[in-house]
Amino acid sequence: MDKWLWHARVVKARTSAAELVVTGHVRVNGARETSPGHAIKAGDVLTIALDRTVRVLKVIAFNERRGDAASARVLYEELGTRN
């Protein structure tokens, strides 16, 4: 999960992604997940509590490598953002 969050450019560093998960700021299909290595699949809905916003993302695809912002955008569908 931390690798996907990093590839999708939700956070700037993979360690930040792992910390976000471990501290309980990520939910997978409504259930809190605290394991950075948790496997996610296409169709899963991630609810991510960031600094001042909550993002709801539907997993669409995966990448082997971290690309630019345009290639990261095709990995998910933005379902909502709340401040």
pLDDT tens-place values along the chain, 83 residues long: 999 999 999 999 999 999 999 999 999 999 999 999 999 999 999 999 998 899 999 999 999 999 999 999 999 999 987 76
Residue 80 pLDDT: 81
Task: Report CA-CA distances (Å) from 38 to 53, 59, 69, 70.
Answer: 23, 14, 24, 25
Rounded Cα distance, 30 and 65, in Å: 27
Q: pTM for this structure?
A: 0.90
Residue pair 52/62 in contact (Cβ under 8 Å)? The answer is no
Residue pair 76/58 in contact (Cβ under 8 Å)? The answer is yes
